[in-house]
Amino acid sequence: MRKPVIAGNWKMNKTKLESIKLVTELRNLIPRTTGVDIIIAPPFTALTYVFEAISGSSVTLAAQNCHWEDSGAYTGEVSPPMLKDLGCSYVILGHSERRQYFGETDSTVNKKLKSVLRSDLIPIMCVGESLEERRQEKTFSVVEGQMKKGLAGLTSADFSEIIIAYEPIWAIGTGETATPAQAQEVHQLIRKILGELFGKNKAVQTRIQYGGSVKPENIDELMAQEDIDGALVGGASLEARTFAKIINFKPGD
């Protein structure tokens, strides 16, 4: 069975002290061991402080982005070995906000993904369609393209784990969630594509998160879907009690 994985993407929020406060509140609200993998992705500036604050808890650390080179003349960038050095276990890649505002493409996501794997970090690769694309019934072709281009050149031997996050752009930060059925059909497609690319075993093992206005009120129903293995949570991860409720979702039968 795939272990559920709930990640909180804080985006460009929280100072050093605010980060320590939030994560300390959170660790007091969740059991030391849970049946859920818990990931926090604070901004780069708070990684070290959050890493210290989660020590001895079941919470692990992610970065929200990285560069594809290990080092060099790339002013303002941060590399996978640097993130590993700070205690990160995961890196979010290709978030729609990075694609929309910072010109990220499937090709840069692909380079970053390979670089993250080389540094022994686990990529969380985001895919998802815009409202316009959904209206034009292009959801499947858009997600398929992002999957195939983002994962191009990889074989199943190249990685032990990759997490995919399906995040319909129209549901991010809008309060509008994909219905569990809408999410499930795309998750099913993603698993099918993983099977074509990497074989059945990898497809069955790979965890696929849903992201887009996840909250305590909708997490149970989403997690009850066969191919939904977790959530990538934005806004609702910025408040400890709310995020803890999501982590403590009620698994279906």
| 146 touches ligand PEP (CB under 6 A) | no
Q: Where does 142-207 show beta strands of DSSP type E?
A: 163-166
Q: Which residues contact 146 (CB under 8 A, 6 or more apart)?
A: 94, 106, 109, 127, 128
Task: Answer whether 186's CB lies under 8 Å from 212's CB.
Answer: no
Closest distance of CB 123 from ligand PEP, Å = 15
C-beta closer to ligand PEP: residue 13 or 156: 13
> Which residues on neighbouring strands pair with residue 7, listed in sequence order?
39, 232
Q: Considering the complex, what minimum distance in angstroms separates the CB of residue 210 from ligand PEP? A: 9
Tell me if 43 contacts ligand PEP by CB under 6 A.
no
Catalytic residues: 95, 167
Instruction: Kindly identify the residues of this chain, within the stretch 169-188, that bind ligand PEP according to CB under 6 A.
Output: 172-173
212 is an interface residue for ligand PEP by CB under 6 A: yes
Cβ atoms 23, 56 nearer than 8 A:
no
Token pair listed for 218: 């909708």
167 binds ligand PEP (CB under 6 A): yes
First to last CA, the chain: 13
H-run or E-run covering 133: helix 131-135
Residue 164 vs 232, nearer CB to ligand PEP: 232
- Segment near ligand PEP (CB under 6 A); pick from 49-57, 63-71, 138-146, 227-235: 227-235
Binding site for ligand PEP (CB under 6 A): 9, 167, 172-173, 211-214, 232-236
